[in-house]
């Protein structure tokens, strides 16, 4: 921690120098006063302070919080590189080496069938502009250079000058977007993560696993470690509530992804080729390699002649240069020399590796060449598996229109007339017949909305033909509430593509509490349909089911959602076992504490037995993506933690303890679920709760931050009802009020009803479900502030609701501390406590500034000449608080 404090002092000093040079020395004093423990609660900004001065203060505080986050990030990355044990080195911290050691010899077989599947989304939860992120990345490089013990005075002076320059740029860069990002912008942002860290972190992660396994092996092992990771993406494919994501956007997204994948593969192949300079006399090529080169000379006469001239008597290098040439042709669509699929590329790499091994050069065969194999296995030609998501209601509307045309033509479906299109659109048997036998009429002129649904399915088929079946085959149905919602996609696909090839994997997404409880019966009904059974056999009985954390928590409260999700997963595991199905549960976890966020390692090991089984798929979004992939070593650690948790989740000792605890505390869980849900719904069903959060917080202006291309509200709703208010702005708004209600409300009442305190404490120690739930609530409460929360809530003029919410906040804090055996929040989590306390004074100050802005806007209105500067100042406070709180949405 000493090095962290040193970095913070340096960055603070440089920031203050930048402010002084900019003629804003008064801001230095304001920030110091904010960070003074004795003065941080003073909301007076030394009048007179108009909107311009308030905006300047907010920008300066935001920069300071970004610099604090940067120092923390670099400290973690350096600690991991030096392996000092502060942020890794044990099973508890998720390091793969100690975890493999604890699991023992069976670890290798488990890794052989493991699949980690992070899915990147464009959900608008990242408040930073890309320009800010880029500036912070440059600062990170120079801070590392300055802290490097091998750097001399000249090198440190250079780094200091560069940091001053970048902090100056950061200070003068607006944290607010002037235009709303388009889907193409979101695609570019996500693709930059691959270029920056993922491509380099993946081989490092694989090597870490390989080394851990080798330490357990007794003698040589022929079993080669396959790539353990497959990336997915919703960016450019998720059209649920986002009219800007069209079939054309999806097509262009995959083209961009393929361009990055092929360009990276080509560059890496060329790099490795330049290193394989062994000559054929000392390292003779295999007969198979000689034959392949002879064929290449015929297929690529001009190009091969140049390769042979530049690399004489270097057959292994020649073959890799041919591979690079063919990758370039694949990107350009030159059919005569392009690879047909990644498997053909893997065959060429295997040919070179086998030849090297036969010649006695195992080190080269299993070195950087193996990295190439892992990259191809992971990314293929498509980079990430692009997934389509759409709301079930959109499909129903399209089907009603289409079936109306069927009725108008007097046609029948499976011999039955379509008398009522609305009913037929919800009839699984009718839809199943359409999926299997096709539509009885030719395609009529359709509305733009219905045409777009069909075009989406058509573009999926086209992309698979161009980039392979892995590139875009999953279709996620939001708010799946019955088998009709699932078979609807196949019925529409049959109309869209007819008998043309399309590998379509329909993935139900269960989101509300009711839908989660009914998931088993929905899947039973779906599986009974002939079209589902045929698809299941074609896919080797593999089924994917997605579970929504954010909407379930918004629907029934955080504690009840956690326990309902756990029980639903248990039911799905039983369903899969009964039907001999290989189940993958897709976890739609958000970054915020109110949307399923929290420590991923603990969350994975808390999953019900059989629900992981070597496969783990999860969404990653917004600030979570940046936190996990900002640095190569951090990205490697993230993958290690995920792999370690998946490995542990099904280890005999963990399974035995988890099942024993689950049986022992099942009744407790049921009581907590019922009591917390009742308390939460009592508040939600109170008239005006949506108005309260809108009037107490800056909810109505969150859309003006232009965080993403997706609208903040569903449909044309006002945002003043729970139905049209999305989970992300719901959580974001509560975080701004410093209440953080979605992370804890209802839990205190449920815990207080339990008289056997020893049983509660035992459940926390023994049952990962409860311990994970309480730890998330503890963190959420640690980032709340009762006094400030009261001031925000008072703005809504509903004193009875304010009293209810604050009473539950106090009750939950007391109950959590009692169960955890603590006197203060985060008492047993020193790293986390320090991180929160370090940011708290500035966040509290920004909260008070935000209250001032809201008061001014109440008086002037946001659209008036007097109000517009306050509106901008308010947006700056939101951006700053998001930087400090770090998991706002």
DSSP 3-state of 475 = strand
The arithmetic mean of pLDDT across residues 833-837, rounded, is 91
Torsion region of 223: left, alpha or beta (phi above 0 gives left; psi -120 to 50 gives alpha): beta
Cα–Cα dist 152/136, whole Å:
23
User: Given a cut of 80, is residue 591 above it in pLDDT?
Assistant: no
What band does 708 get if pLDDT is binned at 50, 70 and 90? Answer: low
Cα–Cα dist 523/379, whole Å:
31
| pTM as predicted | 0.92
Cα–Cα dist 259/254, whole Å:
8
The arithmetic mean of pLDDT across residues 207-232, rounded, is 89
DSSP state of 562: H
The arithmetic mean of pLDDT across residues 507-524, rounded, is 95
User: Given a cut of 70, is residue 832 above it in pLDDT?
Assistant: yes
Condensed to tens digits (0 to 9), the pLDDT of residues 318-331 reads 999 999 999 999 99
Token code pair at residue 636: 């490697």
Cα–Cα dist 124/707, whole Å:
5
User: Given a cut of 50, is residue 40 above it in pLDDT?
Assistant: no
More confident residue, 597 or 22: 22
Chain-centroid distance, C-alpha 810: 32
Condensed to tens digits (0 to 9), the pLDDT of residues 452-461 reads 999 999 999 9
User: Given a cut of 70, is residue 720 above it in pLDDT?
Assistant: no
Q: CB atoms < 10 A from the CB of 330, how many? A: 25
In this predicted structure, which of 122-136, 222-236, 472-486, 624-638 has the lowest mean pLDDT? 122-136
DSSP 3-state of 227 = coil
80-84, 219-223, 512-516 — most confident range: 512-516
Residues with Cβ within 8 Å of residue 705, at least 6 apart in sequence: 127, 176, 177, 875, 878, 879
The arithmetic mean of pLDDT across residues 127-146, rounded, is 84
The arithmetic mean of pLDDT across residues 506-520, rounded, is 95
Spans of all domains in the chain:
2-194, 259-379, 387-540, 665-885
- The torsion angle over the Cα atoms of residues 120, 123, 127 and 129, rounded to 10 degrees, is 60
The arithmetic mean of pLDDT across residues 641-660, rounded, is 92
Token code pair at residue 666: 């099942």
Percent of the chain at pLDDT > 70 equals: 92
What is the structure's pLDDT at 49?
A: 78
Domain 259-379 of CATH type 1.20.1440.90: yes
The arithmetic mean of pLDDT across residues 416-428, rounded, is 94
User: Given a cut of 70, is residue 716 above it in pLDDT?
Assistant: no
Catalytic residue among 15, 66, 117, 123: 123
User: Given a cut of 90, is residue 84 above it in pLDDT?
Assistant: no
Cα–Cα dist 557/745, whole Å:
7
Cα–Cα dist 576/568, whole Å:
12
Condensed to tens digits (0 to 9), the pLDDT of residues 723-769 reads 767 777 888 899 999 999 999 999 999 999 999 999 999 999 999 99
User: Given a cut of 90, is residue 273 above it in pLDDT?
Assistant: yes
More confident residue, 809 or 188: 809
What is the structure's pLDDT at 706?
A: 65
What is the structure's pLDDT at 122?
A: 77
Mean pLDDT computed over every residue of the chain? 90
Contact present, 395 and 435 (Cβ < 8 Å) = no
More confident residue, 124 or 560: 560
Q: Phi first, then psi: what are they for 509, rounded to 5°?
A: -120, 115
Q: CB atoms < 10 A from the CB of 84, how many? A: 12
What is the structure's pLDDT at 335?
A: 83
Tell me whether residue 123 is one of the annotated catalytic residues.
yes
């Amino acid at each position: 921690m000493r090095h962290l404090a040193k970095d913070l002092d340096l960055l603070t000093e440089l920031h203050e120098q930048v402010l002084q040079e900019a003629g804003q020395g008064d801001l230095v004093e304001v920030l110091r006063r904010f960070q003074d423990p004795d003065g941080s609660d003073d909301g007076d900004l030394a009048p007179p302070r108009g909107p311009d001065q308030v905006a300047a203060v907010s920008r300066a505080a935001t920069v300071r919080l970004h610099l604090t986050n940067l120092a923390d990030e670099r400290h973690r990355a350096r600690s991991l590189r030096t392996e000092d044990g502060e942020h890794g080195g044990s099973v508890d911290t998720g390091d793969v080496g100690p975890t493999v050691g604890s699991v023992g010899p069976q670890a290798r077989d488990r890794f052989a069938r493991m699949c980690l599947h992070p899915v990147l989304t464009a959900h608008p939860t990242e408040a930073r502009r890309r320009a800010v992120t880029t500036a912070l990345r440059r600062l990170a490089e120079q801070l590392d250079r300055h802290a490097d013990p091998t750097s001399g005075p000249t090198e440190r002076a250079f780094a200091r000058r560069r940091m001053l320059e970048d902090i100056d740029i950061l200070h003068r860069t607006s944290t607010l977007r002037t235009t709303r990002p388009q889907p193409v912008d979101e695609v570019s942002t996500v693709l930059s993560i691959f270029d920056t860290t993922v491509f380099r972190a993946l081989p490092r992660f694989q090597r870490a696993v390989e080394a851990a396994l080798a330490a357990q092996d007794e003698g040589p092992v022929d079993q080669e470690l396959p790539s353990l990771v497959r990336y997915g993406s919703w960016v450019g494919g998720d059209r649920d509530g986002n009219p800007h994501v069209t079939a054309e956007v999806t097509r262009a997204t995959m083209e961009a992804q393929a361009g990055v994948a092929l360009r990276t593969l080509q560059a890496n192949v060329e790099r490795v080729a330049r290193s394989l300079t062994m000559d054929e006399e000392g390292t003779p090529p295999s007969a198979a390699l000689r034959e392949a080169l002879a064929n290449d000379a015929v297929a690529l006469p001009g190009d091969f002649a140049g390769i042979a001239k530049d690399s004489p008597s270097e057959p292994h290098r020649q073959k890799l240069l041919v591979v690079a040439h063919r990758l370039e042709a694949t990107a350009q669509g030159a059919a005569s020399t392009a690879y047909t699929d990644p498997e053909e590329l893997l065959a060429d790499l295997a040919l070179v590796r086998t030849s090297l091994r036969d010649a006695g050069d195992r080190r080269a065969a299993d070195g950087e060449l193996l990295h190439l194999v892992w990259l191809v296995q992971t990314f293929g030609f498509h980079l990430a598996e692009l997934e389509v998501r759409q709301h079930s209601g959109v499909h129903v509307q399209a089907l009603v229109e289409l079936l109306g045309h069927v009725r108008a033509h007097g046609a029948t479906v499976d011999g039955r007339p379509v008398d009522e299109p609305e009913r037929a659109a919800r009839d699984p048997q009718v839809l199943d017949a359409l999926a299997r036998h096709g539509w009885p009429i030719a395609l009529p002129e359709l509305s733009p909305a219905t045409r777009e649904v069909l075009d989406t399915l058509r573009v999926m088929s086209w992309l698979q033909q161009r980039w392979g079946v892995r590139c875009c085959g999953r279709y996620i149905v939001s708010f799946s509430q019955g088998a009709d919602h699932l078979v609807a996609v196949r019925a529409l696909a049959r109309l869209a593509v007819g008998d043309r090839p399309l590998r379509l994997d329909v993935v139900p997404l269960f989101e509300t509490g009711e839908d989660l409880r009914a998931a088993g019966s929905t899947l039973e009904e779906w599986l009974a349909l002939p079209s589902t059974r045929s698809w299941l056999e074609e896919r080797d009985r593999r089924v994917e089911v997605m579970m929504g954390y954010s909407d379930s928590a918004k629907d029934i409260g955080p504690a009840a959602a956690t326990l309902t999700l756990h029980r639903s997963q248990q039911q799905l595991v039983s369903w899969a076992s009964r039907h001999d199905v290989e189940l993958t549960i897709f976890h739609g976890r958000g970054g915020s504490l109110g949307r399923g966020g929290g420590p991923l390692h603990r969350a994975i090991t808390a999953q019900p037995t059989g629900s992981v089984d070597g496969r783990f798929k999860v969404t990653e979004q917004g600030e979570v993506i940046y936190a996990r992939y900002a640095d190569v070593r951090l990205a490697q650690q993230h993958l290690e933690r995920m792999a370690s948790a998946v490995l542990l989740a099904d280890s005999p000792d963990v399974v035995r303890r988890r099942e024993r605890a689950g049986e022992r505390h099942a009744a407790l869980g049921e009581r907590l679920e019922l009591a917390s849900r009742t308390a939460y719904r009592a508040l939600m069903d109170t008239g005006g709760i949506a108005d309260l959060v809108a009037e107490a917080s800056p909810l109505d202006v969150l859309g003006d931050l232009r965080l993403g291309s997706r609208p903040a509200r569903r449909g044309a709703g006002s945002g003043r009802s729970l139905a049209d208010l999305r989970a992300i702005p719901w959580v974001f708004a509560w975080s701004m009020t410093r209440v953080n209600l979605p992370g804890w409300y209802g839990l205190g009442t449920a815990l207080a009803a339990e008289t056997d305190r020893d049983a509660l404490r035992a459940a926390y120690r023994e049952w990962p479900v409860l311990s994970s739930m309480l730890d998330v609530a503890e963190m959420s409460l640690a980032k709340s502030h009762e006094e400030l929360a009261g001031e925000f809530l008072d703005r809504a003029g509903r004193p009875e609701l304010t009293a209810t919410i604050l009473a539950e906040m106090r009750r939950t804090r007391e109950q959590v501390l009692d169960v955890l055996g603590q006197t203060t929040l985060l008492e047993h989590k020193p790293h986390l406590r320090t991180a929160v306390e370090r940011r708290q004074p500035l966040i509290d100050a920004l909260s008070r500034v935000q209250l001032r802005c809201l008061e001014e806007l109440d008086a002037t209105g946001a659209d008036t000449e007097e109000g517009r500067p306050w509106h901008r100042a308010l947006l700056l406070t939101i951006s700053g608080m998001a930087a400090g709180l770090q998991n706002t949405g």
